[in-house]
Amino acid sequence: MTEMVFGATPLRAGDPILPKWWRTVDRWSLFAVLCLFAIGLLLGLAASVPLAEKNNLPPFYYVTRQAVFGTMGLGVMFVISLLEPRQIRRIGVLGFFISVAVVAALPVIGTDFGKGATRWLSLGFASVQPSEFLKPCFIAAAAWCMAASQEVGGPPGKIISFGIAVAVVLMLVGQPDFGQASLVLFSWCVMFFVAGAPMWLLAGVAGMTVVGGFMAYGASEHFARRIDGFLAAEVDPRTQIGYATNAIQEGGFFGVGVGEGTVKWSLPDAHTDFIIAVAAEEYGLVMVLVIIALYATIVFRSLMRLLRERDPFARIAGTGLACAFGVQALINMGVAVRLLPAKGMTLPFVSYGGSSVIASGIALGMLLALTRHRPQGEMSDLIGRGR
């Protein structure tokens, strides 16, 4: 317990890889991830049964699939968390080029499954959402460019990363997927700030985002409909937001009871985008606060560990990954309580979805790898020597 609170024990030369990993990894974050996955399976037992019945499938069909996908995601997370920062950088850059190529080809080879947005690649036995995998790989590639720009005689990495971010955002908006585009842009701004960007430049990016939002409102009926629904004075009780809001209110502090909720029979996306409404209705505010605390634990502990990281790439990429993970959870829950417009974004490790949980495993594996204790001095040592 002492090591979990105050940090890992010092490394010893010639340590086997698994004991070394166990002493250096952030165990509290690892424990929080496992808890989120367990909660996701628990909620899936209730939220996915109506959909299975509707599709004439076994009652726990989607829960079983989620368990399989989740096991794969946790396995990927574990393997990636064993790697060093330079290996994370190589895998991230390679994955970025592959995922960008697939996302760019979606207008030709992709499908929308009747949802009005071409975001998926159908494999017959399953479907893949490439943008989920693009996010962590983009963060790694952009962080590599920004870190390279800090080297003496290095390339203009910050400008290159900005060009990459704009290209990715435009591709996602073209699907359209404004939620993922916003998350990518937010991640880039956070990393750019950590890399030493001037505030006026970030303010300019924010202004461009606002202008882009107004243009999207006028050009996209899909986008305008969601904004109008969010700004409406009254919530239509027959919409997904209406059902979710009512379920959260009905849940109160301790919920209506396990299996007693009704929102899962009304919401078609109760097992994915609105699973927090199922948690609030059946388990109450207590469960919601537990879920929020688990996400906050991962983000806060990761950022605290990154404060003493000397490797620019690890510091920038780790901050981007941690903030993107936390903000995605915040957006999902914010939509359910009508603090944000509907965006169709999953709750990491909790919502149903193979692409989501495996991509979350990749992102958290990178984050755990970048926040592992490594032999190095504190950032304050470097500042002191610079003086």
Give the three-state DSSP class for 122: strand
Q: What is the pLDDT, as a whole number, of residue 97?
A: 95
Give the three-state DSSP class for 376: coil
Residue with tokens 């999902």: 332
Region of 5 please: left (phi>0), alpha (psi -120 to 50) or beta: alpha
Q: What is the pLDDT, as a whole number, of residue 383?
A: 46
What distance in Å separates the CA atoms of residue 381 and residue 170, rounded to the nearest whole number? Answer: 41
Q: What is the pLDDT, as a whole number, of residue 387?
A: 45
Q: Which two tokens stand for residue 41?
A: 């399976």
Q: Which two tokens stand for residue 112?
A: 């929308």
Beta-bridge mates of residue 122: 127
The stretches of the chain forming alpha helices (DSSP H) are 2-6, 17-24, 27-47, 49-54, 61-81, 85-109, 130-149, 157-173, 178-194, 199-219, 221-231, 240-251, 275-306, 312-336, 354-370, 379-386
Q: What is the pLDDT, as a whole number, of residue 370?
A: 95
153-199 tens-digit pLDDT = 778 888 899 999 999 999 888 887 888 888 999 999 999 989 887 77
Q: What is the pLDDT, as a whole number, of residue 7?
A: 45
230-245 tens-digit pLDDT = 666 666 666 777 778 8
What distance in Å separates the CA atoms of residue 107 and residue 111, rounded to the nearest whole number? Answer: 8
> Are 260 and 250 within 8 A, CB to CB?
no
What distance in Å separates the CA atoms of residue 298 and residue 256, rounded to the nearest whole number? Answer: 29
Residue 171 CA: distances (Å) to CA of 9, 40, 54: 45, 30, 34
pLDDT along the chain (387 residues), means of 10: 44 71 93 95 85 85 91 96 94 95 87 74 80 94 92 84 92 84 91 83 75 72 68 67 81 81 76 86 92 96 92 95 95 85 83 90 96 68 45
Give the three-state DSSP class for 309: coil
Q: What is the pLDDT, as a whole number, of residue 168?
A: 93
Confirm whether pTM is higher than 0.75: yes
> Measured in whole angstroms, how far is the alpha carbon of residue 240 from the centre of its chain?
22
